[in-house]
Chain A
Amino acid sequence: MTTLAGETTTRAQIGVSRPRRDAREKLRGQAQFVGDMLVPRMLHGRVLRSPIAHGRIVSIDTSAAEAMPGVVCVLTGADLQDIDPYYGHAIKDRPIIAIDKVRFHGEPVAAVAAETPAAAAAAVDAIVVEYEELPAIADVGQATAPGAPLVTDREAKPGLFHGLGELEPRDRNVCYRYRLDKGEVEAVFAHADIVVEGEYEFPAVYQYAMETHTVIAQVEGDEISLWANCQHPFLVRAEIADLFRVPVANVRIQVPYLGGGFGSKSYTKMEPLTVALARKAGRPVKIQNRVGESMVTTRRHNMRCRMRTAATADGRLLAREVTALFDTGAYADNGPRVVATAGDAAPGPYRWEAYRVDVSCVYTNLAPAGSYRAFGATHMQWIGESQVDEVARRAGVDRVEIRRRNLLTPGEEVRMDGKPLDADLVGDVEKVAEAVGWEEPKPPLVGRGVSVGVLAAGAHPVSSAVCRLEADGRVVVLVGTTEMGQGSRTALAQIAAEELGIDSERVTVRGADTRFTPFDRSTGASRSTTVAGLAVQRAAADIREQLERIAGTSDIDPDDYLALMRKHFGFAGGELIGRGEVAPVGSGSYAEGPVFWEVCVGAAEVEVDPDTGFVRVRRTATVADVGRAINPQLIERQDEGATLQGIGNALFEEMVYKEGMLLNDTLLDYRVPSFTDVPESMTCLIVENEDGPGPYGAKGCGEGALAAVPGAIVNALADAGVPMNELPLTPERVWRRIQELKKEGKWQQ
């Protein structure tokens, strides 16, 4: 690894909580988001969306809308006959705008470009669409029943970036299936003393990045420009180039600050539709979703799962079998990857003799589901961990002790191929348990739980970065990472500063502009500090090496940089350009995958009110097992944010559907955590074992807490006397469960 220069410096810039570089701009309301931007001659776009979950479009009459004042054009599926209008980074199953059929409530059917937002909205209301309604496939059970009608009968091509090897063709409504098989599952279950089994439900959840999806697109000849709040600008660029048949380099995407992402802005979302509308209008167009529209743009998969776990009488875990159906909605979006990650997370990081995992990604007539922070792991961990707790109860073993005995230790195999475990899980679990007072006496109706898992993180490790040392001694870092709140611009500036031995205040990191910024795969999967950070470190080290070459010695000081540049260029101009790259080559983390296993460890203490079913989270603790902390305060804030999202996911967040129709499509009816949901005590423990593959031994964080917290809460609630198989743990559900337990004579309190 390129730490040549790093070793000679004092590491003054990393491991310290430097203030956020974007604080001033953001606090003063000066930070620009796409919705704040104006492009000359820009029009306002608005989308007409399907009012039904499934139907044939009999006719669309846009004539009245087109005649309205201020309206420039109306786009429908008929305008896309000159291109192959289907896209999807995993599976090209999704039309830019509905063609002949609508497959979910909220699918774009037409779009208007007009001089003002009001004119666009009025014109949308004037479009007349006649539908022939078809029966909706409202859940995975219906979708996988024998003889079920098909959500789509097209044979879709594989997308550019599925990253899943050979994609098998769709099997009726199942678009992807992920399986793992190890050992003699049947035989082990047959001889096990303890078998825990159950069926579980996980809800659809809205990521709610406070800034909704927003795009400005401009098409001039074969040049396409976008200002978009996307997490993965380089992948969007490729998809837009592919769809509209222009060279990749002709698509320019500029990404300002994002008002939150959490996966909702990963891959391609509103960009193709905005480009198609701008192409027809002949002028730039901005489309800004309302919250109800972003809720049908992407969401977290709801899921049904059956799991069983086998163990010996004294609590040695033996085998696990998992089948699950993930509802990906009408189009695959990132469903296949979500399902594969869920499959990897399903066994849990234990020393199994055997396991079998079979997870399917299923089409239904709901809105498409994609990425949301810690996907797959969040779906699975609460289930597996509740079964481990149940084994412990039956075996009469303490619930931390059973994990101590069965958890993998560093170097052991996590999944049959791939990187062995790179973290001390037992140590992590002990820390969080202690932080919620594991050994303290418990008041009645209070319970405590822990939860542990790992998440394949880092995505595909391809990142590059350029550092420019300017003639005034300042450094500009060009890197494709999207600042969506996580603090990447601050952390990456610290890394570059560390390498060069300068103050991070002298380093500037800006948002991606794909015309100038070198390629970076994506911002997600907790990869930026690790993978993009390594590219930045290498780019900065490259500058340092150039300076040493100019000096003819490695014994140089940052104070010498300007004089060395003057010597080299012969005047007060010129700049040194450093280049850094990360690619999946050689051996180790970057070739085997995953780049690292993100640790998902948490604990919770809850209190239940048996009269109302209301669950209150009193204490939480999570671990950020980061290898090496670049900026500890930013890490704590990441984990606190993830903890609150975990509380929301566990206790009340749920998109409610009836026959495929989303019922709670506003923040009035879809509740997210607010100030009063913050637990009295919320501890984030930072663990630094310098065991990560990123700069200075760092590895990513920010997702693990979300995967861990729901499991910790479910286990704490079971410890308080209420075992649950369905999320969220709403008062109504919990109260009903307590009544059942009372009837069965199992209510202990």
Chain B
Amino acid sequence: MRLELKVNGRDVVREVKPQELLLDFLRESLGLTGAKRSCDVQVCGACTVLVDGLAVSSCCFLAAHANGREVTTIEGLAERKEFAQLEEAFTRHAALQCGFCTPGMLLTVSSLLESGELGSEEQIKESLDGNLCRCTGYRGIVDAVADLAGIA
């Protein structure tokens, strides 16, 4: 089937199979490998991308469902002005190690910051609970996000 969508601000038109996953479409057809596959069952968040500004697990999201919508991957987020703050905070707190969870983590964080829902450290932990990180122990990520959300 024919898929028309916007990816990172650019128009994309492609043929896809109806059962094709958004993750595979992004990685294989568009070469956007920032989104990662790990658990494959919507638990880890490594494959997170934004669809119309909302964080979704692209491993469990059909490419066809993105038809007519706007998809943002880490490659697109990194081009935005506000990315500089995310990058600075995550770097300063060493909120990454292997980096495999990092793109998905940043996309989730950016959508949460946009929604303005992060009022406390508890809220940060609960809102990010759908993104796993096996390396960091989460402390650095919580600190970086608290800084970004302006929580003392």
A-to-B contact residues, CB < 8 Å: 17, 19-20, 22-33, 35-36, 117, 208-212, 257-260, 262, 290-291, 484-487, 633-634, 636-637, 639-645, 666-668, 672, 674-676, 678, 682
Contact = CB atoms under 8 A, between A and B. Distances in A.
Interface string B91-108: 110101111111100100
B98 to A, nearest CB: 3
Given A27-B78, A29-B75, A33-B36, A484 B126 contact: no
B58 interface: no
B102 to A, nearest CB: 5
A336 B128 CA distance: 40
Interface residues of B, number: 51
Contacts of A636: 139
Interface of B: 24, 27, 32-41, 43-44, 46, 73-75, 78, 86-87, 90-92, 94, 96-103, 106, 124-126, 128-129, 131-142
A30 B129 CA distance: 25
A640 B100 contact: no
B135 A667 contact: no
B97 A487 contact: yes
B141 to A, nearest CB: 8
B22 to A, nearest CB: 15
A251 to B, nearest CB: 25
26 contacts: A20-B94, A22-B99, A29-B75, A29-B102, A35-B33, A208-B134, A209-B98, A211-B36, A257-B98, A259-B38, A260-B100, A262-B134, A290-B40, A485-B135, A636-B139, A637-B136, A637-B137, A640-B139, A644-B137, A644-B138, A666-B41, A666-B43, A668-B41, A668-B43, A674-B132, A678-B137
B142 to A, nearest CB: 7
A636 B142 CA distance: 14
Most A-side CB within 10 Å, residue of B101, B132, B135, B142? B135
A17 B94 contact: yes
Most B-side CB within 10 Å, residue of A27, A211, A678? A27
Nearest to A631: B94
Grouping DSSP codes into helix (H, G, I), strand (E, B) and loop, the B interface class, with mixed when no group exceeds half, is loop
Contacts of B139: 636-637, 640, 678, 682
A645 B129 contact: no
Contacts of A291: 38-40
Given A208-B134, A674-B132, A29 B41 contact: no
Contact of A26 (B27, B99, B129): B99
Contact of A28 (B27, B78, B98, B131): B78
A35 B141 CA distance: 25
Contacts of A672: 132, 134
Most B-side CB within 10 Å, residue of A17, A260, A636? A260
A637 B43 contact: no
Contacts of A27: 78, 86-87, 90-91, 96, 99, 102-103, 106
B39 A637 contact: no
Nearest to A642: B137
B13 to A, nearest CB: 21
B63 to A, nearest CB: 13
Given A210-B135, A211-B100, A667-B39, 14 more contacts: A23-B87, A28-B34, A290-B40, A291-B40, A485-B100, A487-B94, A644-B137, A644-B138, A667-B43, A668-B43, A675-B124, A675-B128, A675-B138, A678-B137
A210 B137 contact: no
Nearest to A262: B134
A33 B100 contact: yes
Contacts of B99: 22, 25-27, 31, 257, 259, 485
Given A485-B97, A668-B43, A675-B126, A36 B138 contact: no
Contact of A486 (B92, B97, B137): B97
B96 A260 contact: no
Nearest to A288: B37
A678 B126 CA distance: 11
A486 B134 CA distance: 12
A49 to B, nearest CB: 16
A643 to B, nearest CB: 6
A711 to B, nearest CB: 18
Nearest to B32: A29
B84 to A, nearest CB: 11
B34 A634 contact: no
B98 A485 contact: yes
Contacts of B136: 637, 640-641
A640 B95 CA distance: 11
B135 A260 contact: yes
Nearest to B99: A26
Contacts of A640: 136-140
Given A643-B137, A676-B125, A678-B142, A29 B97 contact: no
Most A-side CB within 10 Å, residue of B35, B78, B96? B96
Nearest to A648: B134
A643 B90 CA distance: 20
Contact of B74 (A23, A28, A33, A678): A28
Contact of A211 (B38, B43, B86, B94): B38
A24 B87 contact: yes
A641 B38 contact: no
Contacts of A639: 137
B101 to A, nearest CB: 6
Contacts of A28: 34, 74-75, 78, 87
Contacts of B34: 28-30
Contacts of A36: 27, 33
Contacts of B86: 27
A9 to B, nearest CB: 25
Contacts of A674: 129, 132, 138
A121 to B, nearest CB: 12
Contacts of B78: 27-29
Contacts of B142: 675, 678
Contacts of B94: 17, 19-20, 23, 487, 633-634, 637
A640 B135 CA distance: 8
Nearest to B42: A668
A212 B38 contact: yes
Nearest to A261: B98
A634 B139 CA distance: 12
Nearest to B75: A29
A259 B98 contact: yes
Nearest to B87: A27
A637 B91 CA distance: 12
Contact of B38 (A210, A262, A487): A210
